[in-house]
Structure formats: C-alpha cells, structure tokens
Structure 1
C-alpha cells in the first residue's frame, strides 16, 4: 500500500523561480503527510496562458503579441537549468517521486512537458506532449514517440498522458501496453465532463488515474497581461477538478473545484490485478488478428549531421 498525492494549485505564470519555490514547498507538504508520489498540473512551471491569443489571426501577427510570446518564452525552463536541479533536490530530500508539468524551452521552441523525477535517480523522463490542442500549437512544439515511456517505481509503474492526449485512443493503448499502473494526467481541462473521461480511462486500462489541474485566477498573472477572450468563469481561469480514481472506476479523492488543495489516496496494486479478471485491453480482451498498433519511438530530429 502506497500513498499518492495530486496537487491542485496555481502556478506563477512567467516566473519560473517563484513557481519552483512553490513546488518545493508543496513537495515538502506531501512528504510530511506520507505521500510517495506527487502529481502536479500541466504547465505548473512556465504557466498555462489561458485566454491569450498572442496577437494572432490568420495571416496576421502583432508586435504586442511578439512581446507577449517573448515573456512567455523567457519564463520557460531548460532541462539542464537550475529549476530542474532544485526539483531533483526536493524530490531527493523528501523522498517523493514527482510528476511536474513544465513549459520546456529547447533551442527556439517551447514544449509542454511532464517531468518524471525520482528521489533516487533524478530526472528520469521528460514526457513531451505529442499533440498540442488547438491554438496551443501556436506556442508549443510537437513531441515525438521517444519520450512516450513508462517507468517502474517502488509503488508501481508510472506513466503520464497530458491533457487532451487522453482523448487519443491509440495513445492510451500505447501506455497500457507498457504496463502503466499509475496513470498520471496533468491537465488544464477544468470542465465537469473531465471526470467522465478519467473514469473511463481507469476502467479501460484498469489503472489508477491521478488527474491534476490548476486552480488559477486572473490575479496570478502580471497586471499588464492581456486576456483576449471573455472568460466563462470571470476571474477564475481554471477551476481545478482534480481527482484520483481506482481501476474499478471508484473515485478515491475529488473532484474538488474552486480552491487550492492536495488530494491524497492509498494505492493497492492488488486492486489492479483483481480488475483484470475480466478485461485486459492489450491481453485477453484484445484481438491482434484484427487490430494492431505500431508505435514509433525514434527521436524525430529536424536536422541530422553526419560525417
């Protein structure tokens, strides 16, 4: 039996140092409450610029929008930067495996990434979002299959699927085929309908689902930051809705809306084993003679130098 935690909290947009400091404090709190795994929301460090158009329309960009993008890019982090080192240190010091949503900068491109940080091995995975959703594609690059991995931990096999990647059936199947037991879903989707998707995934994969979303308000952003659309919940940009579900579809914690909180649940992997009596989507309930999936896990580089 292991204790896991889902963080529902606001990032500090465009301020990586402040968001990292907040993350360190939350990791310490999880450890103090006996948690061994802490799942943070999508883009917790770097920020999710909800409602921001970056001055774009079809065939048109503005100088103000380029200024907004420059601030966003400057608030992103690199894998070899001090923020990741501080997260590695916090994970090690407190003995907590951390799944952290970040905006990663590589060269001149930003990626929406989930870092997997082990208390014993440091940064063990940077899981880049394969398919940015809608206008996210304006500011985020595409990940590739080389980061589509799961990994063993003392409390189960962990994998992450980011936000609307969870609506991609073949993506989910690839994760199930890698034996994921603790299915982490950092997200920016705060709709009540998200719970239905998370429940379906728990039942489909016979997995523990840990979904983390921010509770984010307008005043978290700099005072001069523009919002280009009318936000449906006024000053609340993301309402949360984080939750933890077991492989039978039972909700163990949440969903919680409209406040910052940490959700906890005890995880017994025997629950997953029992659930596979009557269903295994990549095993006895599959039909490989009819359906098959090929996953390309090669790194996709745009430029390759050879000699």
Structure 2
C-alpha cells in the first residue's frame, strides 16, 4: 500500500518592495502573509532583500555617489534586526496564519549588513536565519559573507526546506551541499530582472533557467519569488538620464518548478504584483529521484566528492562554551530570546 505524502499550497511573491522604508515594508509583508493565509497556503516565499528592497544604487554609480546621496545611511537604517518590534510583528503574522514564511531581508547585525533569509515557522518561532555565502560583485561593498552553517536544510511539516539567494544558484558546490541534505522544497530568492539588460547573465531567461535546472538537479520543488522595480523606485534611484538607461520599471519574473523541471504555474506580467499559488505534492519527488538522485544512486563518490565545512565562523569565540551551545548561539544570530530554536536542527 502506498504511503500518503504531504500535499499543500505554497505562495510565491512577485511584488515591489517598499524601497528604503522598513515601516511600510513590514505592513506590506504582513498583508501578503495574510493574503496567502486566507487562500490556504502553508508556505510563503519572498524575494531576495525584500526588506528594505535590493540596493540597486550600488550598480548605478560609484560608492561616493551612493554615500553622498544618502543611500548608504538610509539602507543601513531600514535594514532589519531580529530582536525588534518589526521582527515581532512578522512572527505574529506567521503564527496568526499558521504559515511558514521564508523572508528575504537585509540583516543588520552590529555595524554590518548581510543578505539574509529568515525562516519563520507556523507557530511564529524562528526555524533558522541564514546569510548569503558570498555577495555577488559590487554587493560586497554593502554586505558581509555568510559561512558553511548557512547552507542548511530543515525538516518541517512542509517538507525538507532550504533556501538560497540569487547567484548562489550558479555555484555548483553550493548547490550540491544543499542536495546532499535531501532537500524537498527550495526557495530560490531573486531581486528583479530589469537592470543591466545588455547583460544576458543578469536577465530573466538565464536566471529562470537556473531555477528550473536546480529543480531537475535536486529533484525538488523550487519556488522562485522575484521582486518588481516600481516607477517610484526608478525615480528615487535615478538622478541623471544615463542612470535611467541602466534600470527600468518591471523585472518581475517569479516562477515555480516541479522536481522534473516542469513549470507549475503561469507567470504574471513582469510589472504586475501578486501571489502565485502552487500545489506541492512531496510524493512526486521519489519518482524524479528514481531516475537520477545526484547524492545517491546517480553519484560516483569514488571519482568526485564534496568537502563541506558546516561549522559557523565568527570573529569572536566564547571560551567555556560547549560545542552544542556554541553552535546554537551562532546559528540563532540575533534572534529574539523568545524564539524557539531547535538545538538539534541548529546543530545540523
């Protein structure tokens, strides 16, 4: 007799952020969580740095311009910490809707920022916080690095859930580290695809293909939320005509793919905002893996193997802590003391 495999609805966000306005961004985030909850979704996935929006200014001019125009200060001030009232409001929204949230954000920790993803469980507790392993190109003028502990998959009611940001999906070893943890549902978070359109590698065709290939390689469901650039954002970012040639409104290309690489939902117009609702049937994964399991019967460890260091790397080590408590503290980052973090999951 065949087992009953979990089936549920997931929501994928395509929307414009409230750029550089954390208060309004929190309100919009909660509204989207509530909308997903009303429609019966058990999981909602947000774009990369949804809060407070992606720092497109780093691609549009020199660092001195970004600093003098106030973008550096405003971006820092409107980035999220995990221990404040904004974070508490998001946790409450997740709990009220009994929904798992995968939120993209600029994480503010001390004097540094990180491209982060926060997984909030349906009880409002933090499941995990992660940081992008290596910011891409000029992103490194804004954000710090993550470490091996940020490549994690979590065993939840919605399946074995993992997440990466943007071009982490073109790093073969990073992807393999995720596949090796038997990921079932993956959130591939993207910013927008209407900047530097002369560069195919930054466009929606290439990067939607990257998300689709991840689904095939990992034999998993991939939810690929994507932000929209609004006209208001263009006006805020562009103080000269030449900047307007590098970025435009639109760029929303949210998508979702099944474990065989099939598209699961019709895309929205690139300027439209809304939620894509996707049917997840975890039973389909075993059918895909029967043909090709990249970390099982289709692997050749006698020829090729991945060396993967999952230990957290921080600039301060606290003497006297045992390994378990040390790992737990570092995995939680700045999460509120009220959050329930599973020590076993954090140590994975």
Per the normalisation by structure 1, the TM-score is 0.92
Tell me, in whole angstroms, the C-alpha distance in 1 between the residues paired with 2:66 and 2:135.
Answer: 24
Matching of residues 267-278 of structure 1 within 5 Å:
267-278=280-291
Q: Stretches of 4+ moved more than 6 A in 1? A: none
More helix by share: 2
Residue 70 of structure 1 aligns to a residue in which SS?
A: helix
Total equivalences in the alignment: 303
1:298 aligned partner: 311
Deviation at 1:120, TM superposition (A): 2.0
Question: Do the aligned partners of 2:133 and 2:150 also contact (CA within 8 Å) in 1?
Answer: no
Residue 230 of structure 1 aligns to a residue in which SS?
A: helix
1:20 aligned partner: 26
1:185 paired residue among 182, 188, 202 = 188
Deviation at 1:55, TM superposition (A): 6.0
Question: Do the aligned partners of 1:112 and 1:128 also contact (CA within 8 Å) in 2?
Answer: yes
Tell me, in whole angstroms, the C-alpha distance in 2 between the residues paired with 1:67 and 1:53.
Answer: 15
Residue 248 of structure 1 aligns to a residue in which SS?
A: coil
Tell me, in whole angstroms, the C-alpha distance in 1 between the residues paired with 2:47 and 2:316.
Answer: 32
- After superposition, the C-alpha distances for 1:219-276 in whole angstroms (9 at most, x for unaligned) are 047748757963457541x511101100011101133322112101111111111111
Deviation at 1:155, TM superposition (A): 2.1
Question: Do the aligned partners of 1:101 and 1:115 also contact (CA within 8 Å) in 2?
Answer: yes
Question: Do the aligned partners of 1:128 and 1:143 also contact (CA within 8 Å) in 2?
Answer: yes
Question: Do the aligned partners of 1:151 and 1:159 also contact (CA within 8 Å) in 2?
Answer: yes
Per the normalisation by structure 2, the TM-score is 0.81
Unpaired runs of at least 5, structure 2? 1-6, 194-203, 321-348
Tell me, in whole angstroms, the C-alpha distance in 1 between the residues paired with 2:316 and 2:240.
Answer: 36
Residue 72 of structure 1 aligns to a residue in which SS?
A: helix
2:208 paired residue among 172, 190, 195 = 195
Q: Is residue 138 of structure 1 aligned with residue 124 of structure 2?
A: no
Deviation at 1:90, TM superposition (A): 0.3
2:82 aligned partner: 79
Deviation at 1:52, TM superposition (A): 3.6
1:91 paired residue among 89, 94, 104 = 94
Tell me, in whole angstroms, the C-alpha distance in 2 between the residues paired with 1:19 and 1:167.
Answer: 29
Q: Is residue 118 of structure 1 aligned with residue 121 of structure 2?
A: yes
CA 1:244–1:235 in 2, change beyond 3 Å: closer, same or farther?
same
Deviation at 1:198, TM superposition (A): 1.4
2:48 aligned partner: 42
Tell me, in whole angstroms, the C-alpha distance in 1 between the residues paired with 2:172 and 2:248.
Answer: 34
RMSD (Å) for aligned C-alpha atoms: 2.2
Residue 263 of structure 1 aligns to a residue in which SS?
A: strand
Q: Is residue 68 of structure 1 aligned with residue 74 of structure 2?
A: no
Tell me, in whole angstroms, the C-alpha distance in 1 between the residues paired with 2:130 and 2:66.
Answer: 32
2:230 aligned partner: 217
Tell me, in whole angstroms, the C-alpha distance in 1 between the residues paired with 2:318 and 2:220.
Answer: 42
Tell me, in whole angstroms, the C-alpha distance in 2 between the residues paired with 1:227 and 1:142.
Answer: 32
Question: Do the aligned partners of 2:112 and 2:143 also contact (CA within 8 Å) in 1?
Answer: yes
1:56 aligned partner: 62
CA 1:170–1:50 in 2, change beyond 3 Å: closer, same or farther?
same
Question: Do the aligned partners of 1:54 and 1:64 also contact (CA within 8 Å) in 2?
Answer: no
Matching of residues 282-297 of structure 1 within 5 Å:
282-297=295-310
CA 1:145–1:219 in 2, change beyond 3 Å: closer, same or farther?
same
Unpaired runs of at least 5, structure 1? none
Deviation at 1:149, TM superposition (A): 1.1
- After superposition, the C-alpha distances for 1:68-106 in whole angstroms (9 at most, x for unaligned) are 211110010111122211111000000110000010011
**Segment of structure 1 superposing worse, 43-52 or 32-41:** 43-52
